Structure 1
Amino acid sequence: MADPGRPAAPDGGLAGLGVSQGRAAGPMIRMAPQPALPSPRQVADPAAETAAVVKALESVTADLRQRAANAARGTGGGATREGGGAAPGGGDAAQAGGGDAAEILDALAMIADDPMLREDAEAAVRDGLDAPHALDAAFTHHRETLAALGGYLAERAADLDDLKHRAVAACLGLPMPGIPAPGHPYVLVAEDLSPADTAGLGTDVVALVTEKGGPTSHTAILARGRGLPAVVACAGITALTDGTVISVDGKTGRIGVGLTDEAVAEVRRSDREERERLANSSGPGRTADGHPVKLLLNIGSAADLRPGAEGVGLFRTEFLFLDRKREPSFEEQVAAYTEVFARAGTVVVRTLDAGTDKPLPFLGLPPEPNPALGIRGLRVDRVLPAVLDTQLDAIAEAARATGADAWVMAPMVTTPAEAAGFARRARARGLTRVGAMVEVPAAALLADRLLAEVDFLSIGTNDLSQYTFAADRQHPGLADLLDPWQPALLKLIAACADAGRAAGKPVGVCGEAAGDPRLAPVLVGLGVTSLSMAAVCVPSVREELSQHTLEECRELAALAQ
């Protein structure tokens, strides 16, 4: 069954995938273009060209690190809403998602500061290229290397394009391409947005619309974290003229075009009232007849903690590792976990989810022909078991020191044997609540056998969609296959929930689907016991669940499948 909450575009408007709830309206402005390379010139002073290369790369690195620091502090990296509205669920929108944004920007800064990249550019100068063309050649070479690896790493090649444009602009003395700054509120429109662009949005951006992208893209995840309405995969949006007044509905994906002043005022008024209403929402998750559904947070660090939820359902520990050339020590890990445990009470910790989309230099993993189907998640333990040992030791120590209710789960579990091996090692360290993530169909199909070995399951719908439909989760042309309303995905979720009910053990959803208020009643109707999401999504999910009885949720689930 198609998503009943996604109607066709109204007459004269456009439609895409709504990926971050809320409504906004204002003049649209398209993303600034990338710099054009000038004609090649004869190199008269190779030393000067080399110095220009180094200076450009250092400029890009410094800019990204400064923006990462601003995002971590909640300044300059977030977007506030028109009219100064607060993000639902506590905390302002400028702070929401700062942890994720800072880590993404830091990771990009590491790429720009890569000695191999610099050496390639310097070698290109020695071969006779001027500085801008040497930078272009070096980034192109690294991009081709990533593209040849396939899978998610091939998609990260787009990040190198963004960094190349920034470096070339710096070398030419041009403004870095990226977010416009017109001095008034506007809707940002782009073919696509890089992580650096999305993470560095200013306070005058009231909504995002991209022609490409999917429901689990960086744009979607960071927009949700900031409480910023966003629509992706919106065909034709970049053909509109700058200054066209449009409305954006991040829930339905509708884009209204050519609005009057009165229509703009109405959109803003209704959005403001809705946010004010949700800001007053509180309490545990419940259906209309009192059936409990835990509403939890997805976080990358203590900076992402917000009030209003019932704990943390996904603590992504890999962000502690992302910008490191060496593995974080036991003491560093204990300190990071303690900071979260001391403030959050119940925390579900995901052990290191490395590989594919999160290549970590310190692991030294060799290139793979298809990284998405290779050594990633728990499979890293096959080649480097000491990494998991240290992490489990640190989690256990932090739990003892704080007295927190610490649960631990492994990513990319595929077989009952893997689940059993992980459970033994975790329990040997005193961690009594041990689980497995369901991210591949094999795990969902054997959910009952996994639950014979572990205490709970957490369904990662982002990867489960990718592997179920053989559709890359970042591919702009396959967004419809990654829609969480796809019946095949819902049937796999139902199978896990049925296994949990039979075993008397909890089964939650921690993928981006958990934060969709329209889908939440369906997931509860399937038998899911908890939903973990970005903080900004909690109030609307809470309110939506409160409007349906458990029986009504079950009826919706039956219709959706």
Structure 2
Amino acid sequence: MTELRGVGIGQGVAQGPVVRMAEALPAPEKTPSAVGADAERTRAREAVAAVAAELQQRAETAGGSAQEVLEAQAMIAEDPTLQDEVDTRIDDGSTAEWAVHDAFAGFRATLEAVGGYLGERAADLDDIAQRVLARLRGVDAPGVPDPGHPFVLVARDLAPADTALLNLEQVLALITTDGGPTSHTAILAREKGIVAIVGAVEATTLANGTTVIVDAAAGTVTTDPSAAQLERAEARAAARAAAVDAPPSPGSLADGTAIALLANLGKPADAAEAVARGAEGVGLFRTEFLFLSASQAPTVAEQSATYRELLAAFGDKKVVVRMLDAGADKPLAFLNDAHEENPALGLRGLRSLRASEDILREQLTALAEADAATNADLWVMAPMVTTVEETKYFTDLAREYGLKTAGVMVEVPASALLADRVLAHADFASIGTNDLTQYTMAADRMLGSVAGFQDPWHPAVLRLVGEVGAAGARTGKPVGVCGEAAADPLLALVLVGLGATSLSMAPSALADVRLALSERTLDEARSLAEVALAADDAAGARNAVAEAAAALPSHQKETTS
């Protein structure tokens, strides 16, 4: 028996035989075309069009976050600049295979150099190129194997197109050697409820047919487990399945302390699943989907209709809407598309909106109209707020439009360290742990080479969360967490111990977090937070808290009259 380690996604546990994903197609050799440029160009364009159509069809089938990722891939496949690069190589005498391979590789390098949102898209090019090459060669594209029985899938990484449509009756668990907790694979696995461990570097040693236990809660893969270990894992899986299937209830700790469990949503169509899974409202509604695929800003009427649809889906519950978070790393021609050397530190979020205040005012107008037409408890918040002055600017503007609850995202250390002064003007704070970790650790969250630093368990990040939580307690203002960290059940306990009064996450994570909170009191959550803060690094914090939690007494949630 051996044990491999990685980053677990969720709290699930599964067991089964390993099946490795096939290796990528070999790169074509650079040989002259035997059929001429016109024929090669036709071959290349037909292959690209077929792949784009397939990705679009998969997107419509998948829905959710996977749909957005796959639609973006389809757009990249047919990018005119990329097509020009392929044509140039074909005109030089290359085959369609070589032209596609070389053009995609060059485009990938360009996107990686840009970094940020576009840099994240670079990894998707590998999958697109492989699919186009397979079309040209008349072979099946590398993808998820089908051995005819349930299995644990082991891969270097999984393309969004494959993750989105995994057969969950066959794929018991997923192990990847690459990727981190915020990679596409991790995000989609969490959304679909797949037991997964990413970044398990030593998984390259796993052979087909090897029986493993994949324990996402512990972040471990146990090979050749004993009969007793298999039995315990099966019992845990059954208990978790029963908890997940139980009727949802409001989030609370074992001593009755209420912790609202909210959903992160990207469009109104996602509301039904969130409601079905027991979301008590929305902690983060991302409005970017209205803007990112448009050549000009949507009208007030178009925005208002979307916001009304969202608010109506949640009755009188709280719905927190984040203003447009774009600019720099997600450039918009009608907002800010100027090149920046370091887009993560550029004109983004509220900074970008202030530079184009008409767009901000139109968004606030649409939200005010939707608020007046529905019964939901609408809260609005500004992204990428750094200073007290920015806080006052936004909250004053929101109130000018009659929006009664206005807050800010805490995503940079500056606003966390001055949280008491920020909360003197804001009605609430919502901590975005993804960006807060990026700026605290000086590690681009889209850059794979520094993915190891992008871990919200780091005590430096948690200390900043604690600063905001303490400021919220002193001022009597709510403090939520809406980053990916809130979806980690063990870390959720630590966040509550640091002062978070609500947690927002992908709807699929709600059941696990609800269960974890129900088993601990507020005093226990605070003690776990102290354990995390005493560690020297992220791994140390995670391991120490896991050990401390395991040593705490087990008790049922107490009822209050």
Hey, what's the Cα distance between the residues in 1 that align with 2:188 and 2:328? 20
Partner of 1:62: 53
Partner of 2:241: 275
Partner of 1:336: 306
**Residue identity in the other structure for 1:59:** A
**Residue identity in the other structure for 1:23:** V
Q: Which moved more, 1:238-247 or 1:321-330?
A: 321-330
The equivalences for 1:186-205 within 5 A come to 186-203=151-168, 204-205=170-171
Tell whether the 8 Å contact from 1:26 to 1:264 is kept in structure 2 after alignment: no
Hey, what's the Cα distance between the residues in 2 that align with 1:165 and 1:326? 33
Q: Which moved more, 1:424-433 or 1:194-203?
A: 194-203
Tell whether the 8 Å contact from 1:103 to 1:323 is kept in structure 2 after alignment: no
Hey, what's the Cα distance between the residues in 2 that align with 1:326 and 1:123? 31
Deviation string, structure 1 residues 75-97 (Cα, Å, up to 9, x no partner): xxxxxxxxxxxxxxxxxxxxxxx
1:510 aligns with 2:482: yes
1:320 aligns with 2:290: yes
Alignment: residue pair count: 525
The equivalences for 1:144-163 within 5 A come to 144-163=109-128
Partner of 1:7: none
Partner of 2:454: 482
Q: By how many angstroms is 1:506 displaced?
A: 0.5
Partner of 1:406: 378
Hey, what's the Cα distance between the residues in 2 that align with 1:247 and 1:367? 47
**Residue identity in the other structure for 2:17:** P
Partner of 2:147: 182
1:225 aligns with 2:215: no
State the superposition RMSD in angstroms: 2.2
- Closer/same/farther in 2, CA of residues 383 and 36 from structure 1, 3 Å limit: farther
Tell whether the 8 Å contact from 2:262 to 2:281 is kept in structure 1 after alignment: yes
- TM-score (norm. length: structure 1): 0.88
Tell whether the 8 Å contact from 2:318 to 2:376 is kept in structure 1 after alignment: yes
Partner of 2:438: 466
1:299 aligns with 2:265: yes
Partner of 1:445: 417
Hey, what's the Cα distance between the residues in 2 that align with 1:238 and 1:32? 12
Deviation string, structure 1 residues 492-541 (Cα, Å, up to 9, x no partner): 00100111112111011111111222122222221111111122222222
Partner of 2:104: 139
Q: Which moved more, 1:371-380 or 1:525-534?
A: 371-380
1:249 aligns with 2:215: yes
**Residue identity in the other structure for 1:60:** V
**Residue identity in the other structure for 1:109:** A
Q: Which moved more, 1:134-143 or 1:484-493?
A: 134-143
Q: Which moved more, 1:458-467 or 1:262-271?
A: 262-271
Hey, what's the Cα distance between the residues in 2 that align with 1:544 and 1:461? 20
Residue of structure 1 aligned with 2:404, choices 432, 435, 441: 432
Tell whether the 8 Å contact from 2:263 to 2:507 is kept in structure 1 after alignment: yes
Partner of 2:549: none
**Residue identity in the other structure for 1:39:** E
Residue of structure 2 aligned with 1:46, choices 37, 41, 53: 37
Tell whether the 8 Å contact from 1:212 to 1:477 is kept in structure 2 after alignment: no
Hey, what's the Cα distance between the residues in 2 that align with 1:355 and 1:467? 17
Tell whether the 8 Å contact from 1:57 to 1:112 is kept in structure 2 after alignment: yes
Hey, what's the Cα distance between the residues in 1 that align with 2:227 and 2:94? 53
Deviation string, structure 1 residues 100-137 (Cα, Å, up to 9, x no partner): 11111111111112122112212221122211111123
Hey, what's the Cα distance between the residues in 2 that align with 1:327 and 1:55? 33
Q: Which SS does the other structure have where 1:365 is aligned?
A: coil
Q: Which SS does the other structure have where 2:2 is aligned?
A: coil
- Closer/same/farther in 2, CA of residues 363 and 194 from structure 1, 3 Å limit: farther
Q: By how many angstroms is 1:357 displaced?
A: 5.6
Partner of 1:207: 173
Query: Higher relative contact order by CA 8 Å / sep ≥ 6: 1 or 2?
Result: 1
1:533 aligns with 2:498: no
Hey, what's the Cα distance between the residues in 1 that align with 2:128 and 2:424? 47
Deviation string, structure 1 residues 302-348 (Cα, Å, up to 9, x no partner): 33332312111011121333333443333332222222111123210
Tell whether the 8 Å contact from 1:213 to 1:475 is kept in structure 2 after alignment: no
Partner of 1:236: 202
The equivalences for 1:157-172 within 5 A come to 157-172=122-137
In structure 1, runs of 5+ residues without a counterpart are 1-10, 73-98
Residue of structure 2 aligned with 1:124, choices 74, 89, 109: 89
Q: By how many angstroms is 1:210 displaced?
A: 1.1
- Closer/same/farther in 2, CA of residues 129 and 483 from structure 1, 3 Å limit: same
Deviation string, structure 1 residues 347-382 (Cα, Å, up to 9, x no partner): 101112224664556646122211111122222224
Q: Which moved more, 1:11-20 or 1:323-332?
A: 323-332
**Residue identity in the other structure for 2:221:** I
Tell whether the 8 Å contact from 1:106 to 1:323 is kept in structure 2 after alignment: no
The equivalences for 1:343-362 within 5 A come to 343-344=313-314, 345-355=317-327, 358-360=330-332
- State the percentage of identical aligned residues: 51
Hey, what's the Cα distance between the residues in 2 that align with 1:244 and 1:303? 41
Q: Which moved more, 1:318-327 or 1:180-189?
A: 318-327
The equivalences for 1:87-126 within 5 A come to 99-126=64-91
- Closer/same/farther in 2, CA of residues 386 and 107 from structure 1, 3 Å limit: farther
1:520 aligns with 2:492: yes
Tell whether the 8 Å contact from 2:388 to 2:421 is kept in structure 1 after alignment: yes
